[in-house]
Amino acid sequence: MGYFIDLDLVGLNWLRQLILHWVVVLSAVAVLVGFANLFRTHWNKTTNRKPGSGFSLVTLVAMILTLVFVGFFGPTDPLSIWIFNNIQLPIEISLLAILAVVLIVASVRFLSRSPGVFSVIFISTVVVLIWGVASFPGLDFINFSSLRTWILQIPATAGARGLLLGVALGTIATGLRVLLGMDRPYEG
Amino acid sequence: MAEIRCHSCGKTNPANSEFCSFCQAVLGSTAVGNVQEPSLNSEYHPTNETLPDPVETNQVSQGRDPSMEGKNPLAGLDNALPLEPTVRDLTKPVVYPVQSSETDIQKAYTLLLSQMVKDETKRPTYTRSAPKKSQSILRIVVAGILFFTILVPILWNKPAAQLPSLSTELILFDQKISELSPGATVLYSVDYDPSATAEMEAASWAVINQLMARDIQLVLVSTTPTGPVQAARLVQNIISTQQNQVGSPLPASQIINLGLIPGGSAGLASFSENPSFFLKDATEMQMGENPASEQTQPVLDLTSISNLAMVVVVTDTPETARNWIEQVQPWLGGKPLMMILSAQAEPLIQSYYEGGIRQVEGVVISVAGGAGYEELVGIKGPALEMWSAFVNASWIAGTLIILAGMIHLVYTQMVQEKQGSGEKTS
Amino acid sequence: MSTADLVGALIGLFLTLSIFSYLLGDNYLFRLVIHIFIGVASAFVVVIAWYNVIWPQLIQPLLYGALTERALTIILLILSLLLLTKAVPSLSNFGRPVMAILVGVGAATAISGAVVGTVIPQVIDSIRLFNLPGSTGSGIGSWSTLFNSGLLLVGTLTTLTYFHFITRTDSKHPGQKTAWLRWFAKAGKFFISITLGAVFAGVLLASLAALVDRLDFIVSLVEKLFNP
């Protein structure tokens, strides 16, 4: 309501800000709940000796050690940043790096798996946008950069705008359903 | 032919019938014997001589069978009330035929629905299929070509590929930063996933160094959980760069880290309306060298978000960018919202800065934007260092998709034709 | 390079190569490293949530705050404890009201953000493009701008039409869209293919940047080890 009417006039702005403040804190508490669930899942897997319990034990050890060291020293301490820089960061960046190979393989197999006009349009767009990043020496005669800019500014923006409006309208509809009690995703 | 009258519907049936052909009730011993239509001219006239004496029947007869006592409420009262077959048949339900009038389509839907309900209770079984050998070979070949193409410029220091021409967005970005007065406060949001660190640091390096060179007070904030650590890491890099380039330590109050704003859009809405709520103890916030340990007052005036000179959001996901645009931009009071985006967020956020209503006033996109911006402001950074390898990789990726895709398509067609002709001969 | 940096770099090298081993096929080393990552990343998130939000906004006001602040924080503490019961399956029902608050506030901010931040500006922008400043003049410039603006509007409308799933109810064409709606939806599919192709290209470029960074890291470290 505070977006559309001035709640200061009815003296309710303080309540709105209080509720938003509480939601911020409760969101952080929700992170603890998620962590507890994850811990419990891996703990059960380890104690019940299910398949893959060895890996669960590794996860538990990593969780506890990180919690102890980073929790004791603080997340912005040099030791914590060392752990982040040399353990979490290399793994995450490497996972995204191998995604490049996986995506190229998927694109190579795409046309043979689902041939059609729209598949050709999809692959053509991908190739033009990738080649349009910079001109390759010797291939300057084809202006892929300008074509890339035009595709991104006009047809891609048109489709994105339609998608964004669709998502926004869907968000409004779903939000109203939740607020009116027709949907209750918080049960269970 | 003898007939039997059904006790349920009263219709007549052949004597040897087990079930009534009209209502499917059970006939047989419960049925009344041969039908005798009562006639008005019948000589049977019940008289007092023929009717049983109610006094006699109500008395318990001398020779009655004690085993009959528990049988039913009327046990012992012989001939008082003849047990009609319907009374005995109360325990047995009557079976009525169900002749449904559904169409074939409805029957098919009913079967489908009952199958779906049955499947709901079934536990799904996931079978792990081993990848085909051809897929593994294709993956290894693609990886090998890609690795080789990237390693060549890294190992042999090949000349840098040509930079793309400067886009208007980069020029506008530079203009907006140049308009900032020294000492202005800029909110810098570190909102990218650690996996996108390489791309985002390359894109944002020149911007953040340009801001530091203009003596801007940088306020770091994040809505992603690992953001504060990423921000601390960024500060470490800035401090070491400052010491190398400028030679003097960074003032303590020049970089303030507000930490994490959880809650997604709700958190940003709270921050927009009441940013002072997120201020912490001054000693915890200051990231520069020699933070003032005795200072308890905040070193930052954040009573309203419109006090900020600029907001710069560095993110790799369109959802985070959209949250900032929807929840924060309306509260900025005309101050510019700038974004440094990953290539994957660019298509979906383009409509926010391409149109007449520029909700985002300047963008730097990915490594290409970062390299162009580094060239524009004259700061050599990671974007320019990785530029040649990045251009090689993008060209070879596009070529592989086209060439290998066509080869794979032809190969698949040939295999399918062989299989088809093999099936025909067999 | 200090000892800590060298040890850290070697650990990073081992982890990077373990992840890259997935290209040869799924193996135990890759799975081991992934499980280490899950443990480290989840613990990091918890510590950050504690240090940045729970300690300064929940615990500190309770211990050192003014009376009214403490009173309000007690209510927040009760809500937080109710939310924590979600971690225990037998007590999880107590956390439902708090989840309802979170979902309700999230829905409210999402609705308002969507209306004020996306729907209104994007709809205005879609028609504003036709207000050409030099439209009275002739020349390719104004015609190309007009063409581009028209294409943008058509693309937006046809994309929205693609997600329209109401069909006819007459007996001749049960379950089918009307003919003009089908053509509009096909045009929308064309624009969606281009947009999704653009997004895919973006993801591929981001992953290529990560690959370049990792290979550069490996080469730099090997050079430092053999040429200190």
Encoding tokens for residue B336? 């510019």
Q: Nearest C-alpha of chain C: how many angstroms from B393? A: 7
pLDDT tens digits, A149-163: 889 888 998 898 888
Contact C80, A33 (CB under 8 A): no
Q: Which residue has the higher pLDDT, C128 or C105?
A: C105
Quick check: B137 contacting C, CB < 8 Å?
no
Provide the CB-side half-sphere exposure for B241 (13 A, CA): 17
Query: Judged by CB atoms within 8 Å, which residues 24-53 of A form the interface with B?
Result: 24, 26-28, 31
- Which chains are within 8 Å of B by 3+ CB pairs? A, C
pLDDT tens digits, A79-123: 999 999 999 999 999 999 999 999 999 998 887 777 788 889 999
Contact C155, A158 (CB under 8 A): yes
Q: How far, in Å, CA of B410 to CA of C50, rounded?
A: 57
Encoding tokens for residue B252? 């303590």
Contact C207, A99 (CB under 8 A): yes
Q: How far, in Å, CA of C47 to CA of A66, rounded?
A: 9
pLDDT-derived band at C134 (thresholds 50, 70, 90) equals: very low
Q: Among residues of chain C, what percentage have pLDDT more than 90?
A: 33
Residues A22-33, mean pLDDT to the nearest whole number: 89
What stretches of B78-196 show up as alpha helix (H) in DSSP?
A: 85-88, 104-121, 133-156, 168-178
Task: Out of B229, B257, B287, name the one closest to residue A84 (CB).
Answer: B229
Contact B185, B216 (CB under 8 A): yes
**CB distance A36–C45 less than 8 Å?**
no
Residues comprising chain B, all counted: 426
**CB distance A66–C35 less than 8 Å?**
no
**CB distance A21–B274 less than 8 Å?**
yes
3-state secondary structure of B378: coil
Encoding tokens for residue A62? 């990593």
Q: Domains in chain C: how many in total?
A: 1
Q: B133 to chain C: nearest residue by CA?
A: C25
Q: What is the DSSP letter of B26?
A: B
The residues, ordered by sequence, that sit 6+ positions from B151 with a Cβ below 8 Å of its Cβ are B389, C215, C219
Instruction: Give the containing element (helix H, strand E) for B315.
Output: strand B310-315
Q: Nearest C-alpha of chain B: how many angstroms from A131? A: 6
Q: Judge whether C157 lies within some domain.
A: yes
Q: Which residue has the higher pLDDT, B360 or C172?
A: B360
Q: How far, in Å, CA of C148 to CA of C146, rounded?
A: 5
Q: Judge whether C144 lies within some domain.
A: yes
Encoding tokens for residue B85? 């077959």
Tens digit of pLDDT per residue, chain B (426 long)? 578 888 888 888 888 888 888 887 888 654 444 444 444 554 555 555 555 555 544 444 444 555 655 556 666 565 555 555 555 556 667 677 676 677 888 888 888 898 888 888 777 766 655 556 778 888 999 999 999 999 988 887 766 667 777 788 899 999 999 998 888 899 999 999 999 999 999 999 999 888 888 888 889 999 998 998 898 888 888 777 766 665 555 565 578 888 888 888 888 988 888 888 777 654 455 555 444 444 444 456 677 888 889 999 999 999 899 999 988 988 888 899 999 999 999 888 888 887 667 789 899 999 999 999 999 998 888 999 899 899 999 999 999 999 988 888 888 888 888 887 776 665
Q: Give me the residues paired with residue B362 across strands.
A: B338
Encoding tokens for residue C124? 């205005």
User: What pLDDT shows up at residue B162?
Assistant: 74
**CB distance A135–B261 less than 8 Å?**
no
Q: Nearest C-alpha of chain C: how many angstroms from A141? A: 22
**CB distance A97–C207 less than 8 Å?**
yes
Q: Judge whether C150 lies within some domain.
A: yes
3-state secondary structure of A1: coil
Q: How far, in Å, CA of C19 to CA of C13, rounded?
A: 10
Encoding tokens for residue B162? 């040509």
**CB distance A88–B395 less than 8 Å?**
no
**CB distance C42–A30 less than 8 Å?**
no
No. of helices (H) and no. of strands (E), chain C = 8, 0
Query: Judged by CB atoms within 8 Å, which residues 220-249 of B form the interface with C?
Result: 225-226, 228-229
**CB distance A185–C103 less than 8 Å?**
yes
Q: Judge whether C6 lies within some domain.
A: no
Domain of C155, in residue numbers: 140-228
Contact A152, B347 (CB under 8 A): yes
Task: Out of C108, C119, C162, name the one closest to residue A175 (CB).
Answer: C108
Q: How far, in Å, CA of B231 to CA of B222, rounded?
A: 8
**CB distance A102–B351 less than 8 Å?**
no
Within 8 A of B405 by CB-CB distance, chain C residues are none
Within 8 A of B167 by CB-CB distance, chain A residues are 149
Within 8 A of B197 by CB-CB distance, chain A residues are 89, 92-93
Within 8 A of B352 by CB-CB distance, chain C residues are 121
Neighbours of B292 (CB within 10 A): 14
**CB distance A134–B196 less than 8 Å?**
no
Q: How far, in Å, CA of A58 to CA of A39, rounded?
A: 12
Q: What is the DSSP letter of B157?
A: -
The residues, ordered by sequence, that sit 6+ positions from B207 with a Cβ below 8 Å of its Cβ are B173, B177, B312, B340, B364, B373
Question: In this structure, what is the dihedral angle of CA atoms B177, B182, B185, B187, given to the nearest 10 degrees?
Answer: 30
What are residue B227's phi and psi, to 5 degrees? -55, -50
Q: Judge whether C179 lies within some domain.
A: yes
Q: B325 to chain C: nearest residue by CA?
A: C117
**CB distance C159–A159 less than 8 Å?**
yes
User: What pLDDT shows up at residue B73?
Assistant: 65
Q: Judge whether C200 lies within some domain.
A: yes
What are residue B288's phi and psi, to 5 degrees? -75, -175
Q: Judge whether C180 lies within some domain.
A: yes
Instruction: Give the containing element (helix H, strand E) for B335.
Output: none
Encoding tokens for residue B400? 């592989």
The DSSP-derived string for C83-105 is HHGGGSGGGGGGGHHHHHHHHHH
Residue-range domain boundaries for chain B: 1-35+70-97, 164-386
Within 8 A of B397 by CB-CB distance, chain A residues are 100, 104, 130
The residue to which tokens 């060895």 are assigned: A54
A:C CB pairs within 8 Å: 344
User: What pLDDT shows up at residue B19?
Assistant: 83
Q: How far, in Å, CA of B120 to CA of B294, rounded?
A: 64
Q: How far, in Å, CA of C108 to CA of B266, rounded?
A: 9
Question: Is the pTM value of this prediction over 0.80?
Answer: no
Q: Nearest C-alpha of chain A: how many angstroms from C142? A: 15
pLDDT at A37 over 80: yes
Domain B164-386 belongs in CATH node 3.40.50 = yes
Question: In this structure, what is the dihedral angle of CA atoms B371, C193, C144, C160, given to the nearest 10 degrees?
Answer: -120
Q: How far, in Å, CA of B402 to CA of B396, rounded?
A: 10
Q: How far, in Å, CA of C45 to CA of A54, rounded?
A: 24
pLDDT tens digits, C33-52: 999 999 999 999 999 999 88
pLDDT at C136 over 50: no
Quick check: C146 contacting B, CB < 8 Å?
no
Quick check: C160 contacting B, CB < 8 Å?
no
B:C CB pairs within 8 Å: 152
Amino acid at B230: Q
Q: Nearest C-alpha of chain A: how many angstroms from C6? A: 10
Residues A6-21, mean pLDDT to the nearest whole number: 73
pLDDT tens digits, C51-74: 888 988 888 888 888 888 888 889
How big, in percent rounded to 5, are the helix, strand and coil portions of chain C?
85, 0, 15
Task: Out of A24, A133, A164, name the one closest to residue B348 (CB).
Answer: A164
